[in-house]
Amino acid sequence: MAAAGAAGVGIATAGTMAGVKLLMPGYDFAQKNSELQAVLGVDKQSPEMQALRKQARQLGDNSAASADDAAAAQIIVAKSGADKDGIVAQTPAILNMSLANKKTMEENAALLIGTKSAFGLADDKASHIADVISMAINKTQASFEGLNDSLTYVGPVAKDAGVSLEETAAMLGALHDAKIIGSMAGTGSRAVLSRLQAPTGKAYDAIKELGVKTMDKKAIHGQSLPS
């Protein structure tokens, strides 16, 4: 009798645990939405929150990420100061970067948002920025960390010199191929770009001045990375 009772308790406990596991994703999603709501300072049923919940669920349904992952990415973007439109624009790009390069969403968000800010680009360019970063990493010897360090140093100067993100990424990729990596690539190209005045061909001229010959001028002006 006691054994039967114990077995019954065990079955009930197992059933309870299974129920908890089943409910956890919904609970986690609700918790993340509450945090997002607090960061944005809006009402739970506001148009902003309704749109963001819808986006998170759609991303969870249509990508390898979950709705929880999407909501977590939304929080990261919101904490950078973005409004609803900025969050909607940048969240998919950050999720896709994280899925592709296996870095954390925080790391990818910092790189994407920092690059966007350095080059003065709009929120709706987030997916393109992510593509440029990913191509530089995939098509050259630049690592995630190396490109991140390089862009930190050279981004603002490149923007002031009129050099595009595409040209800058191509230049940094070529420098990494030549074993000039990370902050060395950033500081070297920053020093050169700060001295260049002509409005065109700057990235190519910078590479020539640094003694790097792994990319042709046509590729840079076509704003494509070396294959």
Rounded CA-CA distance 159/57 in Å is 36
- Return the structure tokens found at 108: 């990818």
The mean-pLDDT minimum among 1-5, 83-87, 174-178 falls in 1-5
Rounded CA-CA distance 74/29 in Å is 12
Strand locations in the chain, DSSP E?
A: none
Rounded CA-CA distance 80/91 in Å is 12
Q: What is the mean pLDDT of residues 54-68?
A: 96
- Return the structure tokens found at 115: 């690059």
- CA 64 from chain centre, in angstroms, equals 16
The mean-pLDDT minimum among 19-33, 44-58, 103-117 falls in 19-33
The predicted model scores a pTM of 0.76
Q: Does the structure show a pLDDT above 70 at 119?
A: yes
pLDDT at 52: 98
pLDDT at 202: 58
Confidence at 3, pLDDT banded by 50, 70, 90: low
